[in-house]
Amino acid sequence: MKRIAFIEVRGLLCGGLTDVAPGANVVVKDGKVVDFSAEAGSAGVIMGIKERHARQACHWAAVAQYDEAASRPVTDAFFELVTNISPIVEPVSETQVFADLTGLLDEKATLAAFAGALVPAMAFRVWIGIASSKLLAKAAVAGAQGGYTPGPLCRVTGFPGAEVVEVLRGAEAEYLAPLPPERLWRLDEATVSALESLGVTAIGQLARLPQSQLNRRFGPGGRLILDLARGIDPVPVRPLYPRRELEERVAFDAGTADSTVIAAALAQMATRLGHRLGRNLEGCRRLLLEVRAGPTAFHAARGFARPESSVSALRVALEVLIARLPITEPVTSLKVVAGDVQSAINVQPDLFHESVEDSHERAEARDRLGHTLEALKRKFSDRVITFGKDDEVPRRERMLALWDPFRSRRSAQCPESSIAPYPSNSTPTLPPGPFATAPSTR
């Protein structure tokens, strides 16, 4: 029987990131509150509200902007504590994490020790939701924060500064029934709005709708919506921590204040990281820079909207990051960490599963491929082996390329391809199609 935990803490970032005296503290990321202290919470500050609303609720609070580089030691310490109770840990945000507790021995004592290590040393409040799925575990925490803990349907255990809410086995659908549809957090806002337009105000109403009605409105996704409404969520906890990271270092024995030397070192590290990521068809979602100048270590970080492996993008990001740092002494070392390494989105794999950067090597590889394809064409019929550049792009593909951004992005990722985006008999003004990334055969 699966036992999934959702853990959320308060005050984690305030204690680790702000340099102000204890009191009312608020941490803001992208204009919204991501953490706050106990005093700020008592004044009415809640998670997710805008910064100006937080200042209105607690005008005397010290507001700190979220700094990813400085927060890493704090969040990693939190995630490391979670790994003590589960080997499968999936961070959701800086203060939220899923953990698979299936098979955990003496669960109550283990969770009590875990909460004791967090409160008050790292946070002032901890909620732990336990259920048979991620959906229910997160809903249990949201319910506890809102005061919804129906006794016959869940079991509540209190520790100093912590609360554990367990949704009982078999009571999943009944627990969800009176809650609004937005508690089904796996559904996007558009789907929730569509459900409300159907007159659905509670999850229990949704669970009683016929499958055929949901299928007519939402297509194949109707089955998933009905399953979620009944408390069925088969998505497992993903082992995303410890994070996959790649690291590059450069040291200057005597130290250097020459910006040209530093820029060249950063470019070299960006090139090495880009090649390491590209070889495995991966990209990084975060880039962290550490600069040691004298006795001081400076940190800066930035995130990417999608996994990034381009050498030029990494180099530009590092140049921007180091320009932000107030370095006044000679630099003794540089460290770059490519964090949250993931499979790259929409990357055309190379036939040899490696990137060929050198133009001479690329030409040789294409020449070998061309000879191989010519030999295949001599052995087999032209109807079996054809060159991609000789195939006309179907009309359906051309129409899809008008609105699908990923189809047009494929050609941008292979600018050195010698193949025209479309054959001469197709419309030249349309975005590149799916054959734009095929390797040249001549």
Q: Read off the pLDDT of residues 407-423 as tens digits, 9 standing for 90 and up.
A: 544 444 444 333 333 33
- CA–CA distance, 431 with 435 (Å, rounded to integer): 11
SS3 292: strand
- CA–CA distance, 372 with 354 (Å, rounded to integer): 19
Range(s) of the chain covered by CATH 3.30.70.270: 4-173
- CA–CA distance, 65 with 324 (Å, rounded to integer): 15
Determine the angle formed by the axes of helices 211-218 and 221-229, rounding to 10 degrees. Answer: 130
The pLDDT of residue 432 is 41
What is the helix (H) or strand (E) element at residue 206, kind and residue range?
helix 203-208
Give strand pairing partners of 89.
99, 241
Fold held by 4-173: Alpha-Beta Plaits (3.30.70)
Which of these CATH numbers, 3.40.50.620, 1.10.150.20, 1.10.3720.10, 2.40.30.10, describes 174-229?
Answer: 1.10.150.20
The pLDDT of residue 278 is 86
Cβ(48)–Cβ(41) below 8 Å? no
Q: What is the DSSP letter of 60?
A: T
- CA–CA distance, 196 with 206 (Å, rounded to integer): 10
- CA–CA distance, 117 with 109 (Å, rounded to integer): 12
Range(s) of the chain covered by CATH 1.10.150.20: 174-229
- CA–CA distance, 259 with 263 (Å, rounded to integer): 6
- CA–CA distance, 293 with 353 (Å, rounded to integer): 39
Q: Integer distance in angstroms from the first to the last C-alpha of the chain?
A: 58
Q: Which residue has the tokens 């040393």?
A: 121
Rg value, the chain, Cα: 27
Range(s) of the chain covered by CATH 3.30.1490.100: 246-343
Question: By CB neighbour count within 10 A (0-12 exposed, 13-18 middle, 19+ buried), where does 332 fall?
Answer: middle
Q: What is the DSSP letter of 180?
A: -
Residue 335 sits at φ, ψ, to 5 deg, of -135, 130
- CA–CA distance, 45 with 67 (Å, rounded to integer): 20
Cβ(370)–Cβ(442) below 8 Å? yes
Interval 135-167: pLDDT, tens = 999 999 999 999 999 989 999 999 999 999 999
The pLDDT of residue 374 is 78
SS3 65: strand
Q: How many CB atoms within 10 Å of residue 153?
A: 19
Superfamily name with CATH number, domain 246-343: DNA polymerase, Y-family, little finger domain (3.30.1490.100)
The pLDDT of residue 359 is 57
Does the reported pTM lie above 0.75?
Answer: no
Angle at 144 between CA 141 and CA 149, to 5 degrees: 120
Determine the angle formed by the axes of helices 211-218 and 189-197, rounding to 10 degrees. Answer: 120
- Which value, to the nearest 10 degrees, does the dihedral of the CA atoms of residues 250, 255, 259, 264 take? -30
Q: What residue ranges of the chain have pLDDT lower than 70?
A: 16-22, 345-362, 381-393, 403-442
The pLDDT of residue 434 is 38
